[in-house]
């Protein structure tokens, strides 16, 4: 088996979910690209015993490298360097040159930001960050905190520990230097290329795919296939080493063949990318008229740079008056059939297209909930309409789940409808 690594993400704010973890998944992907398999990502709070236990668990599980994120700052709850030094049996000693370097950075930062700092507290904080475990390598600071590469104790074999700062903007630029550090290169000597490919389907139930996978089980050796259903899209992510390339090609061909009608992409492109690529390639513009999603679709259409080439306007027409005034939806139509109806979705899309002057337009109107449902118009009912240069499609959907689920899934559904008017 190739090289394996374990990641320990520290921080009570991450453990409790106040801050979403942006380091564990990012590091895991960097490691995969570098040909290293990730055994675990462990999240621990700012508690010494829990961090020690996580290091101990990973070292015992036989990983070749441990990476930690967070807890390198100057404050009392920043304990990682000290704990790792203790774990590897390498007491910290002051690195005078590093101390000077950090002091210089802090002085420049304070001057630039106009801070008045207590010299004694600053000196103590700087000294703390300049403590380097015996025999450890130092990774130059991006912010104020240096990173560390701390080898196993001389008398016990084990993985080195790479200690990185918590702020993603500091961790990411430091990572290439960590990976190139000689002790890390030695630890990861068994790197193996590890490919990852994504296939997306729209409208295929997971159970159907599971049956296909079972039927082809014998041909899938060497492929690690995971499927995930999200917003009605089925995402199939496969990881494999170079030896299984032919097996993957066969698998991709099987899926493309058996699910031709629901296949979105085999190159990992999302529906957002497919729609905006098509708009750009065909030189078409789009406008949105959104009620229950009020702006979510326009936001997704502008996620990518260069979006001014396709999006002309996003109208969040939440009230009936706005639908009438901004989109020209007849007030008597709304009075007659209600704002959540096929007729109004069509009038919104047509109104957006003619008022904005775009080639394509989308209307979305629905009941996001949790209140406001009626027996014939329940929560989760959403009407859509997409108009393109050649055709118009109206559709309705009853979306289960929370308000958030309904709004997100409705946005995704609208993108699929745009794709349908552009490609069918
Ligand atoms: P600092 O010198 O800023 O204290 P540090 O290395 O001690 O750096 P932490 O104290 O663990 O890092 O985290 C500082 C801040 O960085 C957190 O409040 C959070 O905003 C961000 N951060 C830390 N870890 C993560 C993470 N895993 N994902 C996203 N953001 C993080
Ligand atoms: Mg900190």
Using pLDDT thresholds of 50, 70 and 90, give the confidence band for residue 271: very high
Residue owning the nearest CA to atom 10 of ligand 1:
71
Please give the span between the terminal C-alpha atoms of the chain, in angstroms, as a whole number.
Answer: 46
Backbone angles phi, psi at 23, to 5 degrees: -95, -45
pLDDT in the model for residue 392? 97
Q: Whose CA is nearest to atom 20 of ligand 1?
A: 167
Please identify, by atom number, the ligand 1 atom nearest to the C-alpha of residue 171.
6
Q: How confident is the model at residue 195 (pLDDT cuts 50, 70, 90)?
A: very high
Atom of ligand 1 nearest to the CA of 23: 27
Over residues 367-379, mean pLDDT = 94
Q: Is the dihedral of CA 230, 231, 234, 240 positive or negative?
A: negative
Q: How far is the CA of 71 from the centre of ligand 1 (A)?
A: 7
Per-residue confidence at 1, pLDDT binned at 50, 70, 90?
low
Mean pLDDT of the chain: 95
Per-residue confidence (pLDDT) for residue 231, from 0 to 100 = 79
Tokens of 104: 């210089």
Residues 103-160 pLDDT 10s: 999 999 888 888 888 888 899 999 999 999 999 999 999 988 999 999 999 998 999 9
Residue 85 Cα to ligand 1 midpoint, Å, equals: 20
Residue with tokens 């630890």: 187
- 165 CA → ligand 1 middle, Å: 7
Residue 161 pLDDT more than 90?
yes
Nearest ligand to the C-alpha of residue 147?
A: 1
Per cent of the chain over pLDDT 90 is: 90
| Torsional sign, CA 195, 278, 296, 409 | negative
How far apart (Å, rounded) are the C-alpha atoms in residues 91 and 13?
Answer: 28
Q: Which two tokens stand for residue 115?
A: 């801070």
Q: What is the pLDDT of residues 56-109, one digit of tens each?
A: 999 999 999 999 999 998 887 889 999 999 999 999 999 999 999 999 999 998
**Confidence (pLDDT) at 253:** 97
Ligand that lies nearest to the alpha carbon of residue 102, given by its number in the listed order: 1
Distance of CA 294 from the midpoint of ligand 1 (Å): 33
pTM, full prediction: 0.83
Q: Distance of alpha carbon 392 from its chain centroid, rounded?
A: 33
Q: How far is the CA of 39 from the centre of ligand 1 (A)?
A: 23
Alpha carbon of 80 to ligand 2 centroid (Å): 10
> Which DSSP letter does residue 152 get?
P
Place of tokens 């109208």: 315
pLDDT at 346 over 70: yes
How far apart CA 78 and CA 83 sit, in angstroms, is 10
For ligand 1, what atom is nearest to the CA of residue 143?
A: 2
What torsion, rounded to 10 degrees, do the Cα atoms 89, 94, 96, 97 define? 40
Q: Whose CA is nearest to atom 11 of ligand 1?
A: 70
Q: Which ligand is nearest to the CA of 11?
A: 1
**Mean pLDDT score, 357-386:** 96
Pocket-testing residue among 9, 10, 70, ligand 1, by greatest number of atoms within 8 A of Cβ: 70
Orientation of helix 403-423 relative to helix 271-282, angle to 10°? 40
Neighbours of ion ligand 2 (CB under 5 A): 73, 78
- Ligand 1 pocket at CB < 6 A: 9-11, 13-14, 19, 21-23, 69-73, 78, 145, 165-168
DSSP string for residues in 189-244:
TT----EEEEEEEES--HHHHHHHHHHTGGGGTTEEEEEEEETTEEEEEEEE-GGG
**CA-based torsion, 351, 352, 356, 359: positive or negative:** negative
Place of tokens 């007729």: 343
Mean pLDDT of 227-233: 87
| pLDDT for res 6 | 98
């Amino acid at each position: 088996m190739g090289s394996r690594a374990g990641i320990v993400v520290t921080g009570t704010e991450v453990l409790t979910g106040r801050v979403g973890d942006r380091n564990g998944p990012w590091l895991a992907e960097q490691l995969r690209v570098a040909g290293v398999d990730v055994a675990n990502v462990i999240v621990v709070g700012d508690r010494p015993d829990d961090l020690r236990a996580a290091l101990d668990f990973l070292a015992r599980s036989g990983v070749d490298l441990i990476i930690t994120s967070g807890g390198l700052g100057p404050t009392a709850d920043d304990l990682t360097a000290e704990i790792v030094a203790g774990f590897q049996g390498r007491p910290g000693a002051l690195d005078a040159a590093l101390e000077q370097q950090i002091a210089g950075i802090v002085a420049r930062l304070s001057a630039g930001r106009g801070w008045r700092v207590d010299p004694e507290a600053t000196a103590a904080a700087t000294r703390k960050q300049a403590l380097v475990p015996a025999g450890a390598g130092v990774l130059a600071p991006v912010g104020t905190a240096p990173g560390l590469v701390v080898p196993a104790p001389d008398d016990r074999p084990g993985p080195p520990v790479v200690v990185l700062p918590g702020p993603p903007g500091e961790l990411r630029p430091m990572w290439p230097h960590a990976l190139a550090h000689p002790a890390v290169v030695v630890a990861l000597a068994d790197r193996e290329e590890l490919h990852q490919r994504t296939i997306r389907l729209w409208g295929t139930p997971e159970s159907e795919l599971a049956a296909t996978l079972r039927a082809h089980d014998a041909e899938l050796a060497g492929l690690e296939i995971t499927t995930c259903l999200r917003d009605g899209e089925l995402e199939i992510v496969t990881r494999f080493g170079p030896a299984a390339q032919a097996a993957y090609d066969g698998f991709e061909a099987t899926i493309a063949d058996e699910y031709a009608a629901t296949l979105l992409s085999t190159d990992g492109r999302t529906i957002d990318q497919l729609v905006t690529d098509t708009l750009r390639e065909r030189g078409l513009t789009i406008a949105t008229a959104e009620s229950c999603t009020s702006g979510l679709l326009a936001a997704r259409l502008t996620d990518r740079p260069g979006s001014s080439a396709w999006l002309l306007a996003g109208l969040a027409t939440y009230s009936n008056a706005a639908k009438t005034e901004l989109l020209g939806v007849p007030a008597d139509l709304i009075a007659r059939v209600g704002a959540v109806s096929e007729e109004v979705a069509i009038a919104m899309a047509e109104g957006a297209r003619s008022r904005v002057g775009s080639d394509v337009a989308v209307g979305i109107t629905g009941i996001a909930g949790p209140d406001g449902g009626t027996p014939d118009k329940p929560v989760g009912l959403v009407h859509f309409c997409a108009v393109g240069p050649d055709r118009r499609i109206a559709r309705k959907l009853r979306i289960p789940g929370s308000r958030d689920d309904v709004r997100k899934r409705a946005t995704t559904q609208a993108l699929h409808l745009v794709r349908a008017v552009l490609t069918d």
